[in-house]
Structure 1
Amino acid sequence: MSVKIRLARGGAKKRPYYYIVAAHSTSPRDGRYIEQVGTFNPMLKKDDENRVNLNLDRCKHWLSVGAQPTDRVARFLDAAGLMKRNPRNNPNKAKPGKKRLEREAAEAEKAKEAAEAAAAPAEEAPAEDSAA
């Protein structure tokens, strides 16, 4: 039996509200859970004290018996001082994709050709004027 501390979504359409719950890892996101240990309201401002509410005693209990928090819940627990979360570093995530690189290369080539075409008639035009 693997227990996770995770978010269960509640609230209306386009108005999310999450319950922080201890649940079996195989149960559905919004399905059955063992115990509710807090709430998270993302609609409130980040500095609002009611944005995240945790029952610290129950969170400590579930962490002590081996419950694994999800990444988002680990951030909340880290902010509350219950655990240390190691920040992740994925430098490739910010890089543009293959298609975008191809499009940018094609646009750069097109701009270069346009610049060359604009410069070439300017050089030829005075030569035609002197021949006339």
Structure 2
Amino acid sequence: MRLGSRHNPFYRVVVMDAKKPQKSKFIENLGYYNPTKNPQIIELKEDRVRHWLSVGAQPTDTARSLMKKQGILQRIHEEKVGKASTSAEAADDAAESSES
């Protein structure tokens, strides 16, 4: 959602129903993005972003890009890969102990 004045854009990152018009009321404000500052300011509430992604929210390409820049998607991916590798290691350990 664009805010700010002419030649001074400022964006809110919000959760919206995909079926509603862009200018309609949003469900939750997740943070903001200010591209005019140097360096650019990206401030997102990571816990709320994680919540909405976990319940199936689909970020736009731009929102996904902002999440990547802040490192949120990388941390989520590392947690998922870490859980998968620990469960695979546990399965290997269980298989080895049953063979003995």
Identity of aligned residues (%): 35
1:27 deviates by: 2.3
Where in structure 2 are the equivalents of 1:1-132 lying within 5 Å? 8-45=1-38, 47-48=39-40, 51-83=41-73
Gaps of 5+ in 2: 75-100
How far does residue 30 in structure 1 lie from its aligned partner after superposition? 3.2
Contact 2:33 2:43 in 1 (8 A): yes
Higher relative contact order (CA 8 A, sep 6+): 1
Please list every run of at least 4 consecutive aligned residues from structure 1 whose deviation after the TM superposition is greater than 3 angstroms: none
TM-score, reference length from structure 2:
0.66
Larger radius of gyration: 1
RMSD over equivalenced CA pairs, Å = 1.5
Unaligned runs of 5+ in 1: 1-7, 85-132
TM-score (norm 1): 0.51
Report the Cα offset of residue 11 of structure 1.
1.0
Tell me how far 1:77 sits from its aligned partner.
1.2
| Deviation (angstroms), 1:75 | 1.1
